[in-house]
A and B are shown apart, each in its own frame.
Chain A
Amino acid sequence: GAGVSQSPRYKVAKRGQDVALRCDPISGHVSLFWYQQALGQGPEFLTYFQNEAQLDKSGLPSDRFFAERPEGSVSTLKIQRTQQEDSAVYLCASSSKTTGGGRDEQFFGPGTRLTVL
């Protein structure tokens, strides 16, 4: 079956523009995660959904970042008024589990590389 897919794979935005990044999780996976990976660093957690409910948004860096998953499948990460420091790879991951604990494996997509000029 298909893995996690993300689109676009690459996005160039001018500073101040709004962007929307899409994530299609593995079919049937109820949990969905967004991470931000700056150049040369490990991924950093942004937010987590279980079905359509956003259960943890503690990692969102500012109110310019907004994520949604209205029907419990596809998710969109929106960044308003982009700034240069938003340049990073945005990774989406999904999991079949509904709770943490044990081998709570997250399956990652290829990421969207955002460059803000």
Chain B
Amino acid sequence: AQKITQTQPGMFVQEKEAVTLDCTYDTSDQSYGLFWYKQPSSGEMIFLIYQGSYDEQNATEGRYSLNFQKARKSANLVISASQLGDSAMYFCAMREVPGRRALTFGSGTRLQVQP
């Protein structure tokens, strides 16, 4: 079964508008971490935001915020005021067991910001 599901292969957004990228996850652990990474065409994965399963508040990092709904097992990324440089692949990832360092990634969403 998929651990991380990203149902939007591609998304378009107008410059300066907000966009939400969906992510649902599957785990039976109580303690886990959720990450979003950006991968531009250069290939490097860039960390954007982190949400711990016990964090009571939704994480925010500048223009990025995470809409964390634990009961629904969703961790959607919200990008506000989109910029042309936001065009990239976006990956949601989960680390399930604190002692295990491996990240499990979804299949990604390609975001294209239009002028």
Contacts and interface: CB of A to CB of B under 8 A. Distances in A.
A108 B102 contact: no
18 contacts: A3-B44, A33-B101, A40-B107, A41-B107, A42-B105, A55-B101, A56-B100, A99-B98, A99-B99, A100-B97, A100-B99, A100-B101, A101-B31, A105-B47, A106-B103, A110-B43, A110-B44, A111-B44
Interface of A: 3, 31, 33, 35, 40-45, 48, 55-56, 58-59, 89, 91, 93, 95, 99-111, 113
A56 B99 CA distance: 11
A95 B52 CA distance: 18
A113 B44 CA distance: 12
A59 B44 CA distance: 21
A101 B50 contact: no
Contacts, number: 74
Interface residues of B, number: 28
Interface in B89-115: 91, 93, 95, 97-108
A28 B33 CA distance: 24
Nearest to A89: B43
A110 B42 contact: yes
Nearest to A111: B43
Given A104-B33, A105-B50, A110-B43, A42 B99 contact: no
